[in-house]
A and B are shown apart, each in its own frame.
Chain A
Amino acid sequence: RKEVEQDPGPFNVPEGATVAFNCTYSNSASQSFFWYRQDCRKEPKLLMSVYSSGNEDGRFTAQLNRASQYISLLIRDSKLSDSATYLCVVNNGNKLVFGAGTILRVKS
């Protein structure tokens, strides 16, 4: 089993839609969690950190469920510019572990 698993997608959604991604992790001792965004052939950039039960930043909401060991990212009112790959990243205490990413395509 991979340490961090994500649905690779792609998720194809129309502008204005709400879309949610899930991510599961295997190490119950993991301490902190992040969502990064990666545009095609570019470097990953931090989108959100998830340090407690969850947090919200504008149209983006991240949730953490420690009992079930999953993290989710909700994007409301999707924009064309949201099209990217979203990486789930888990800090298990001695390293960051990256998921392979979920591809989002927002279409007009």
Chain B
Amino acid sequence: DGGITQSPKYLFRKEGQNVTLSCEQNLNHDAMYWYRQDPGQGLRLIYYSQIVNDFQKGDIAEGYSVSREKKESFPLTVTSAQKNPTAFYLCASSTWGQTSGRSWGEQFFGPGTRLTVL
């Protein structure tokens, strides 16, 4: 089955620790994204990547880092510099480029990781 997987589903972290969230997709999508969702708010874009070995900051990149060494994988590291990291983190993927005709549309989401800082 094609899809996006995220792990772990729940994650607890002590203040001052870095933690890495996993995101893998087998949809052969070029683009991948990381969002954060807080209660009562819309999804906010953290980072996105259009192609392997390249990524761009989204609206709230401070305190986060990513890598894109493989097309299928886009891990997100929440660093100790992130002031309020407790949230629901969602990874998504989509096609990208002229052939898709909808470069920023129709994103497919993974099941998410709930991060709680203790």
Contact = CB atoms under 8 A, between A and B. Distances in A.
Interface of A: 4, 8, 32, 34, 41-46, 49, 87, 91, 93-101
A93 B111 CA distance: 26
Given A44-B109, A96-B105, A100-B40, 6 more contacts: A8-B40, A41-B88, A44-B90, A45-B109, A87-B43, A95-B45
B104 A96 contact: yes
Given A91-B104, A95-B58, A100 B42 contact: yes
Tell me the interface secondary structure of chain B in the complex.
Answer: loop
Interface residues of B, number: 23
Contacts, number: 52
Interface in B67-118: 88, 90, 102, 104-112, 114
B42 A99 contact: yes
Contacts of B41: 100
Contacts of A87: 42-43
B109 A43 contact: yes
Contacts of B108: 46
A15 to B, nearest CB: 27
A96 B59 CA distance: 11
Residue with the highest number of chain A CB atoms closer than 10 Å, among B41, B43, B59: B43
A95 B61 CA distance: 14
A8 B110 CA distance: 24
Interface in B22-58: 35, 40-45, 48, 58
B79 to A, nearest CB: 23
A49 B42 contact: no
Contacts of B88: 41
Contacts of A43: 90, 109-112
Given A42-B111, A44-B90, A100-B42, A34 B58 contact: no
A97 B42 contact: yes
Contacts of A4: 42
B42 A101 contact: yes
B104 A98 contact: no
Contacts of B102: 32, 49, 91
